[in-house]
Amino acid sequence: MKKILITGGAGFIGSHVVRLFVNKYPEKDIYNLDKLTYCGNLENLSDVERAHNYHFLKADIADATHILSLFEEYRFDGVIHLAAESHVDRSIVNPMEFIRTNIIGTVNLLSAARHIWQDDFSGKRFYHISTDEVYGSLGEVGAFSESTPYAPHSPYSASKASSDHFARVFHDTYHLPVVISNCSNNYGPNQFPEKLIPLFINNIKHNKPLPVYGQGVNVRDWLYVEDHADAIDTIFHRGKNGDTYNIGGNNEWKNIDLIHQLIRIMDRKLGREDGQSLKLVTFVTDRAGHDLRYAIDASKLRDELGWSPKIKFIEGFEKTVDWYLQNGAWLEHVTSGAYQEYYTKMYANR
C-alpha cells in the first residue's frame, strides 16, 4: 500500500496514528483527512507537518460528493478511519451530529473505497476504528469479547455500533477488505479537555471543581494512546479481512480511585500539600444511561497477532500529566471561545 488515508488525523488518537505512520513509513504517502471540528487541531501534528510524505485534506466525511472526488483524485490503497464525533455527553445533547458523521460519514467512505477499487481488492484494506462502548455495560465480573452481542446505551455508542455493522456488511456483501477494532478508553497527550482525564487535569491546575458523575463507581479500562496507535499499525498490516479485534489495557479503574490517583500526582507536581486538591471533588448528577463497567478481553489480538500493551499505567499517567502541565498554551488554545460556552451549558444544572 503506497497511499494511506487516515481520517480524523487531527484529533486525539488520529494524530498519534498519523505521527507513527509518517515516521515509520517514509516510503508511503500519508493523507490526513479531517473536517477540523472543535476537537480537530492541526497543532497536534506540528512536528510532522513538514514531512515529505505527510499531506492534509480538509473535508467532511458526511459530504458524499466531496469524499468520492477525493478518492477518485488520490486513489488511496488503504484507509484507516478514525474520524468521528466521540464525546458521549455531547451525543446526549445532540444525537443528530453523531448520526451524520459516525454513520453517514462511514458509509460514504466505505462506498467511495468500493467505487475506486472496483472489486479488485488485492493489496487494499479498509480499517474501521471503533469502541468497546458498542457492547454496552458489564456487571462486576466478565469482559467483552469479539462475540459479545452489541447493546449500546448512548447515542454515541449507538452510532458507532451502526457504523460497525455497515463496515461488516460491506465485507460480507461486497467482499470489501474490511477489518474492525474495538478499543477501551484511551488517555495521553492531545486529548480534548472535555474527556475525564484532561478535563480534571485542567480543573485541578486552575483549582476548579471536579464534577464526578454519580458516586464515581463506574469502571473504565485505560490504555495509553501510543499503545492504541501501535495496535492499529499491527491490525492494519496483519489483521484478517472480515475480522474484529478487541484492544484493551487490562487496566481497570473505578473513576473515583483514578481521580484520587490523579490528585496525588497533580498535588506533587504542582508543589501542593498531599491531598490538597481533594476538596475540589464534587459529586454531580449522573450521566444519563451511564454504563457501569467496561472491560476488554484482548486475548485474540495477543494470541493471533502477538500484540499487547507496552506502556505501564503509572508511567503513562505521569507522562500524560507532565505533557498537559508542559503544554499550557495548547490547553489554553483549545479551551477558549466556543468550548467555554459548552462547558458552562453542560455543567450548569448538574
Secondary structure of 150-219 in HEC code, one letter for each residue: CCCCCHHHHHHHHHHHHHHHHHHHHCCCEEEEEECEEECCCCCCCCHHHHHHHHHHCCCCEEEECCCCCE
Residue 90 binds ligand NAD, judged by CB under 6 A? no
Which one of residues 211, 239, 248, 309 is an interface residue with ligand DAU (CB under 6 A)?
Answer: 211
Distance CA 8, CA 197 (A): 21
Which one of residues 88, 110, 161, 229 is an interface residue with ligand DAU (CB under 6 A)?
Answer: 88
Among ligand NAD, ligand DAU, none, partner that 218 touches (CB below 5 to 8 angstroms by kind): ligand DAU
Residue 199 binds ligand NAD, judged by CB under 6 A? no
**Three-state secondary structure call for residue 119:** coil
Distance CA 271, CA 198 (A): 19
Residue 82 binds ligand DAU, judged by CB under 6 A? no
Residue 195 binds ligand DAU, judged by CB under 6 A? yes
Site string (25-44) toward ligand NAD, x via CB under 6 A? ---------xxxx-xx----
Among ligand NAD, ligand DAU, none, partner that 208 touches (CB below 5 to 8 angstroms by kind): none
Residue 160 binds ligand NAD, judged by CB under 6 A? yes
Distance CA 231, CA 183 (A): 10
Residues serving a catalytic function are 132-133, 156
Which one of residues 220, 246, 316, 334 is an interface residue with ligand DAU (CB under 6 A)?
Answer: 220
Residue 86 binds ligand DAU, judged by CB under 6 A? yes
Which one of residues 15, 131, 162, 320 is an interface residue with ligand DAU (CB under 6 A)?
Answer: 131
C-beta of 61 vs 280, nearer to ligand NAD: 61
Q: Hey, which residues between 262 and 301 contact ligand DAU (CB under 6 A)?
A: 287, 294
C-beta of 44 vs 203, nearer to ligand NAD: 44
Residue closest to 59 by CA, chosen among 97, 6, 99, 98: 6
Sheet holding 185-187, edge to edge: 185-187, 219-224, 252-254
Site string (118-157) toward ligand NAD, x via CB under 6 A? -----------x-x--------------------------
Residue 167 binds ligand NAD, judged by CB under 6 A? no
Among ligand NAD, ligand DAU, none, partner that 232 touches (CB below 5 to 8 angstroms by kind): none
Contact assessment for residue 238 and residue 232, using Cβ atoms and an 8 Å cutoff: no
Distance CA 11, CA 191 (A): 8
Calculate the alpha carbon distances from 108 to 6, 42, 66, 95, 333 in Å.
15, 24, 10, 19, 32
Q: What is the DSSP letter of 42?
A: G
Among ligand NAD, ligand DAU, none, partner that 61 touches (CB below 5 to 8 angstroms by kind): ligand NAD
Which one of residues 70, 86, 88, 253 is an interface residue with ligand NAD (CB under 6 A)?
Answer: 86
Distance CA 198, CA 212 (A): 14
Q: What amino acid is encoded at 292 in this protein?
A: L
Residue 104 binds ligand NAD, judged by CB under 6 A? no
Distance CA 178, CA 117 (A): 13
Residues that bind ligand DAU (CB under 6 A): 86-88, 131-133, 184-185, 195-196, 199, 211-213, 218, 220, 255, 287, 294
